[in-house]
Structure 1
Amino acid sequence: MVKSLADDAESGYAPGKRSFAWLKLKRDYIDGLADSFDLVPVGAYAGTGKRSGGYGAFLLACRVAAPGAARYQPVCKVGTGFSDDDLATFSALFERGAAAAPRGDGGPPTWLDLPASLPPHYEPDCWLATPTPPAVWEVRAAALSLSPTFLAAAGLLPEEPAKGLALRFPRFVRARPDKAPGQATSGAELAEAFRAQPEFASLRAEG
């Protein structure tokens, strides 16, 4: 937290009140500390409020690390970083390409590795069930954390073999039309980025 040093009525803390007197500074707000990954959208969530009528968030996945494996593993749900134009473009693109399969209508894509069940808030309203992922997006995150839900990089971290990885505070940066899904970030690359974090060193020390 960053607090104003001004000694006045505005510098006091008031729960739920937004002001510039108290600011929460996240790691991904600091240039140079945020990681960037190329991920593929595999599911979509219906928008609410001003995002009604289209998609408001997406389930993103990394590529399975095995050479030649055309399979993908979810790693985060992202709903920030999109402009209204971005969401309108992506909603139209996926619908126009007949990429959206309603949940329960055929199930998830066969190329997607999922746990036995996803928590309700991660279950997408539709799967982007084309023969291959429909796009590649660049995403930044504050950190990578161990996840009991996602399978991304599962088995690549000896300290926690039963867990995968998830992106914390993910944010959409831009579409990557110059990249094919097979060039998306792999689970092995996520595991390497996780090991490079100071938190991983403390995890090993505790183990």
Structure 2
Amino acid sequence: MEATNPDGDLRIEMLDYYNLVVDHNIHSPTGASPRAVYIGVRFCNDGANPLEDVYAHIGDFTAGTPGIYPVETVSSGPYTGSFSFTHEGGTADATRYIGTLAPGECVVQYWLLSYPLLDANNNRVTGSKPDPSDDLRLRYDVWATAKDNGTPLAADDSKTLQLRAVIAANANKIWPNTTSKVPNEL
């Protein structure tokens, strides 16, 4: 499979997510942690003609496996093992038929993915709390196909998310991986 983003008038826009929360207190009785995220992706027709037979997929683009995600293997460090997202709707849900996109139209699709919190040895997959460089990072790919007046189009994009150790009650206080900043508390 080979695609680009955009391809002709077919464009994929990943909605912004950078960090996933793993509660720092996960080993305590009060350490219930978020373990899933809705991934949102916008599929757009930037052209003057309708795009027909539009399909959207999420998973591992290189392997061509909707609903099966790239595996990150960590062999040394504070946690070890092979990790990936799990598609909560099953592999059939990872392919969506959008149908026709009118000129200028965009459609957003959401998929529910779960992510690991601990390795097989019960170690948190975020390493040391103040050091983001040892946090687990997981990738997902999104791709779409369409026909523009019978001409096939194929676009793809990917994103890597970082699992961050925070106290879940402070989840909105995570320092972003971008140049933006959360305002100071009053």
TM range (shorter): under 0.3
Structure ranking higher on relative contact order (CA contacts 8 Å, 6+ apart): 2
Return the TM-score normalized by structure 2.
0.25
Return the TM-score normalized by structure 1.
0.23
Structure ranking higher in strand proportion: 2
